[in-house]
Amino acid sequence: MDLSITIAGVKFPSCFMNASGALCMTREELLALGRSRSGAIVTKSMTVEPRSGNPEPRYYGFPGGSINSMGLPNLGYRAYAELIPELKQFGKPVIASIAGLCEDDFLTMARVINQARPDLIEVNLSCPNIPGKPQIAYDPVDSERLLKRVRPLITVPMGVKLPPYFDPAHHAVMAEVIAHCQVDYLNLINSVGNGLVIDPTRETPVIKPKGGFGGLGGALIKPVALANVRAFWKLLGGRIPIIGTGGVVQGLDAYEHVLCGASAVQVGTVLVEEGVGVFERLERELAAELKTRGLRSLEESRGKLKEL
């Protein structure tokens, strides 16, 4: 079964790839993704300066999902710019994710990362775990201004990673912003922010930063991710490719994302829990789902969710 896809003119050998933040911070982790069955190498969302991130414990997996408050630990954009040529030798797309702590940071990074020639650049407007830093994507005016400033600096396809929205009015407003800013693809969604998981035996949160508050991922956020993929697919008329992120644990989950309109999917929690071998399993399971339905490609089912 051919699970290759094309986004913004870039061919991906598989529709599965890592979500930024999951086993993609160090050179060794990125090289492991290159050697794996992942359809792309997505870098950790990078900042201008290297960051050690929030204090540990900052990630916790539990039945049904995970919670994290990583705080953007990363090597800094200069290190990733130097790594990009090496990563491209694997023959699969490299997606560089940039996440500024202020608006001008995005411009600084975009110039240098664009010169390193990744296959795509993803503007992450949805980092939920930096104390004192709001998510840009929850302000449509700020988001549009930033995207219009950064777009001229990027000559490769540019994507935008968004947080979950929970109201149709917010979907509509942000769809207008995206339509105005020459965005080549969307990544939906980042983790569902400000969850709290506690250990009742110890009577404490399970992670340390922010009093235990963190971003939720894994199976429990799939309905929110699917809703966002579907909303933006319909609002944008299927014109902008979408990478569905959130709740993909089995091949069937990926198929549901495709039904809602996704061209590809990213995995985070299940990658952290299982390691890079997960891509082979997911490919096998999705291929079986398509075969069972008599489908020959993902394109035959993309956006074909039947409404009651």
Query: Around 243, how many Cα atoms within 13 Å sit in the side-chain half-sphere?
Result: 33
132 is in an annotated binding site: no
Burial (0-12, 13-18, 19+ Cβ within 10 Å), 307: exposed
39 is in an annotated binding site: no
61 is in an annotated binding site: no
222 is in an annotated binding site: no
- Nearby residues of 49 by Cβ (< 8 Å), 6 or more positions away: 76
44 is in an annotated binding site: yes
Query: Around 14, how many Cα atoms within 13 Å sit in the side-chain half-sphere?
Result: 25
Q: Any catalytic annotation for residue 127?
A: yes
124 is in an annotated binding site: yes
Could you tell me where the DSSP H helices lie in 215-307? 222-235, 251-260, 269-274, 278-292
- Nearby residues of 303 by Cβ (< 8 Å), 6 or more positions away: 233, 238, 259, 260, 261
190 is in an annotated binding site: yes
E-only strand ranges, 117-263: 120-124, 158-162, 185-188, 192-196, 198-199, 204-205, 213-217, 242-245
268 is in an annotated binding site: yes
Contact 44, 59 (CB under 8 A): no
Q: Is 98 helix (H, G, I), strand (E, B) or coil?
A: strand
45 is in an annotated binding site: yes
- Give the closest residue to 32 by CA, choosing from 268, 276, 282, 270: 276
194 is in an annotated binding site: no
Q: Which of 15, 24, 102, 127 is catalytic?
A: 127
66 is in an annotated binding site: no
18 is in an annotated binding site: no
306 is in an annotated binding site: no
**Measured between alpha carbons, how far is 229 from 173 in angstroms, rounded to an integer?**
15
Annotated binding site for substrate: 44, 68-72, 124, 190-191
**Which residues are identified as catalytic?**
127
Annotated binding site: 20, 44-45, 68-72, 124, 161, 189-191, 218, 246-247, 268-269
Annotated binding site for FMN: 20, 44-45, 124, 161, 189, 218, 246-247, 268-269
